[in-house]
Amino acid sequence: MKLTRISILAALAISLASCGNKGDKADMDSYIDNLMSQMTLEEKIGQLNLPPAGDIVTGAPQDSPIGDMASKGQIGGTFNIKGAEKIKALQELAVEKSRMHIPLIVGMDVIHGYETVFPIPLALASSWDMEAIEKSASIAANEATAGGINWTFSPMVDIARDPRWGRVAEGAGEDPYLGSQIAQAMVKGYQGDFSDENVLACIKHFALYGGAEAGRDYNTVDMSRQRMYNEYLPPYKAAVDAGAATLMTSFNIIDGVPATANEWLLQDLLRDQWGFDNLVVTDYASINEMANHGMGNTLENSVRALKAGTDMDMSSNAFVSVLSEALDKGLISEADIDKACRRVLEAKYRLGLFENPYRFNNVEREKTDVYTDEHRAAAREIAAKTFVLLKNDNNTLPIKPQGTIAVIGPLGNTSNNMVGTWSVANPGDKAKTLYEGIKEAAGDKANVVYAKGSNLYADPFVEDAAANGYGGGMRDSRSEDELLAEALRVARGADVILAAVGESVGMSGEGSSRSNLDLPDTQLRLLKALVATSKPVVMLNFAGRPTTMEWEAANIPAIMNVWHGGTEAADAIADVVFGKVSPSGKLTMSIPQNVGQIPVYYNHLNTGRPVPEGTPHFHPFSSNYLDVRNEPRYPFGYGMTYTTFDYSDFALDNNKLSKDGKITASVKVTNKGNVAADEIVQFYTRDMAASLARPVKELKHFDRISLAPGESKVVEFEITPDKLGFYNANGEYLIEPGEFKVMAGPNSRDVQTLDFTLE
């Protein structure tokens, strides 16, 4: 029988009439059964194919004639394509021309915004503001769908404790509890109620990608099961529980097997233990990369991947070229293909694409809903919550808009370095530069001047690598000496210096690992020269990761991490620098003193030989270094503001917790200064009597509160036994009675402690 689009859509309409777009599972199943019963083997395999569109290059560039393939039913979707009209035309090819008329799923790396760009995820995490994070995801979804996108490859929930790894910029930092909260907020923000202004979320990179050895991207991961369960897996699980519709496998190996073909990971853990029955897509070309791991050819690896539970092949062109041969050879069954095909179709069903294949192709919305004043205002407000004030001697910040303010540094007047690593949908030149933002905010009250001062790096080769296409073309034709001389002339005429230094956007993110986390050579030289002028210097540290800042922390009066804050970062920085908004961000990754300490993270184990408390220097036969203390430079949870908060009356309503009971820890927080500010109040616990070694602290609760000058609030943490358990190596969650400590404070270091017993 010749199938026509009309006959198929008519059949769809009948089955959908009773269940609506998001009808229950039985409706979906019967709808997809019906559809699949009419599909050829080639058409089913076609659904498993996800080639890149080629517009936005995020892996090895590939020739992909997607239009032709869409017309022939050889792709299930595509990704990283920009432009509502273009996507609509492509969708028309799939829907009108292909025999089965199955619409495409269209993905994009919308990681921290679409054209309105929010701060990088590591910065967003530093806000500890779940409402703000959810809102950023929901705005991103709104804009992306206006551009024809219906699937985002986000959230990236990889726990990371090695800041050499450039992709720490894309995640929430080192803590599994905070990471889990953020994962859920993002899934909610993206998927909402699956309206035509929502996108499908994709949990990535499953799993343990953040554990790459030596912080080198794509590197080997080798980890014990109990560590996985307790420290690395919780955010993926949280995102699964939040209902994420898709998941991406990671590039790394686990137990020697690449994640994409890892049956324990994808079948036993994800599908069987966690009950995730949704779409699993590979990361970019990871089936092909198995050959580099020493695992044979495309046929073998496609079979392994499919059998392990991977459904869709991103960019390897592998499934589409070998699965039918694999079937002929008896290496897989048609049921294996059907299972994967069904999951792709289910994702499309959830998107409502069968009800209306053009649901995300309202091209008018691209003109009205993208980069709107409202979205930008939200991005500005959110960005201001992400900056972390690390040091502020003599209240150097905030500054007054008066006299002459010098913005000096290679990040001071660049637009494309404001937005951050994953801002692929942003044309790159939309963001105001810091110099423009400061100048505009100061108005006619101050004279704002600018000098570049230095390149990113003195070495042009490293500078080029650092610019990596994003900050490209930054190198100045003048010599470093000329740049410095100009900066010093400008600095000498100024009352205050805002030093815009740090990393370009190309220095963090995928493939951008660093072995040295100091400020690059020529920028440090510039900073030293600026400090030598004796003018007050504020270091605005543009960073996609924790950087070491040894000289800076000792010699610069004020340091604020502004990360890469998105399209509205300049205005947001001005808001904070001039005191219109008090800084409120807190670190979600420890800032090490030097690279040799890495990994350094707050929730470490105690070892059998911890350094005795109060030891001023090195302690023999203890777990420490000869030449540096164990503590990071700035701990997890740390961040200052323009006022001080006093923590008092820390109390437990009971120091015995029964097995079905609850007790409450409370602490009073008072704003002792003259300005309003937000504080992120943190509660940690420690298990003192477990059957496994347990961390010295684990974040269990936090609350972001706003306090007017003089105002106090009591913040409570309800402790129940289920919050005190941990996983053993078999993945069993154990709640064991015994002694516990509960801690409260403004960061993971400066806590007050109480004891209780779980009975």
Question: By CB under 6 A, is residue 54 in contact with ligand NOJ?
Answer: no
Q: Which is nearer to ligand NOJ, 254 or 499 (CB)?
A: 254
Measured between alpha carbons, how far is 507 from 259 in angstroms, rounded to an integer?
26
Question: By CB under 6 A, is residue 283 in contact with ligand NOJ?
Answer: yes
Question: By CB under 6 A, is residue 289 in contact with ligand NOJ?
Answer: no
Cβ at position 122, least distance to ligand NOJ in Å: 15
Q: Which position among 236, 284, 638, 684 is part of the footprint of ligand NOJ (CB under 6 A)?
A: 284
Q: Which is nearer to ligand NOJ, 78 or 671 (CB)?
A: 78
Question: By CB under 6 A, is residue 510 in contact with ligand NOJ?
Answer: yes
Closest C-alpha to 162, from 697, 521, 632: 632
Residue, CB closest to ligand NOJ: 58
Question: By CB under 6 A, is residue 59 in contact with ligand NOJ?
Answer: yes
- Residues numbered 92 to 121 that lie near ligand NOJ (CB under 6 A) are 109
Cβ at position 111, least distance to ligand NOJ in Å: 8
Q: Which position among 38, 58, 64, 220 is part of the footprint of ligand NOJ (CB under 6 A)?
A: 58
Tokens at 24, concatenated = 């229950």
Q: Which is nearer to ligand NOJ, 247 or 581 (CB)?
A: 247
Cβ at position 447, least distance to ligand NOJ in Å: 44
Residues 6+ away with beta carbon under 8 Å from 678: 385, 582, 584, 641, 704, 705, 706, 707
Q: Which is nearer to ligand NOJ, 217 or 486 (CB)?
A: 217
Question: By CB under 6 A, is residue 143 in contact with ligand NOJ?
Answer: no
Question: By CB under 6 A, is residue 720 in contact with ligand NOJ?
Answer: no
Q: How many residues does the chain have?
A: 759
Measured between alpha carbons, how far is 147 from 8 in angstroms, rounded to an integer?
27
Residues in contact with ligand NOJ, total (CB under 6 A)? 9
Q: Which position among 153, 470, 542, 650 is part of the footprint of ligand NOJ (CB under 6 A)?
A: 153
Tokens at 60, concatenated = 């090895």
Any idea of the CA torsion for 552, 554, 556, 560, to the nearest 10 degrees?
Answer: 60
Q: Which is nearer to ligand NOJ, 17 or 60 (CB)?
A: 60
Q: Which is nearer to ligand NOJ, 44 or 204 (CB)?
A: 204
- Residues numbered 155 to 214 that lie near ligand NOJ (CB under 6 A) are 204
Cβ at position 572, least distance to ligand NOJ in Å: 26
Amino acid letter for position 220: T
Cβ at position 510, least distance to ligand NOJ in Å: 6
Cβ at position 458, least distance to ligand NOJ in Å: 31
Q: What angle do CA 672, 579, 715 make, to 5 degrees?
A: 40
Q: Which is catalytic among the residues 109, 283, 678, 687?
A: 283
Q: End-to-end distance of the chain based on CA atoms, in angstroms?
A: 70
Tokens at 233, concatenated = 């897996």
Cβ at position 316, least distance to ligand NOJ in Å: 12
Residue ranges in 115-215 assigned as alpha helix (H): 121-126, 130-146, 176-191
Closest C-alpha to 470, from 163, 120, 204, 150: 120
- Residues numbered 402 to 461 that lie near ligand NOJ (CB under 6 A) are none
Q: Which is nearer to ligand NOJ, 260 or 584 (CB)?
A: 260
Known active-site residue 518: no
Closest C-alpha to 189, from 272, 122, 129, 103: 129
- Identify the bridge partners of residue 726 per DSSP, sorted by sequence position: 734
Amino acid letter for position 383: A
Give SS3 for 536.
coil
Does residue 398 have a cis bond before it (omega within 30 degrees)? Answer: yes
Closest C-alpha to 156, from 179, 127, 178: 179
Question: By CB under 6 A, is residue 725 in contact with ligand NOJ?
Answer: no
Cβ at position 469, least distance to ligand NOJ in Å: 14
CA 283 to chain centre: 16
Q: Which is nearer to ligand NOJ, 117 or 549 (CB)?
A: 117
DSSP 8-class letter at 741: E
Does residue 155 have a cis bond before it (omega within 30 degrees)? Answer: yes
Residue positions annotated with a catalytic role: 283
Which residues sit at the interface with ligand NOJ, rule CB under 6 A? 58-59, 80, 109, 153, 204, 283-284, 510
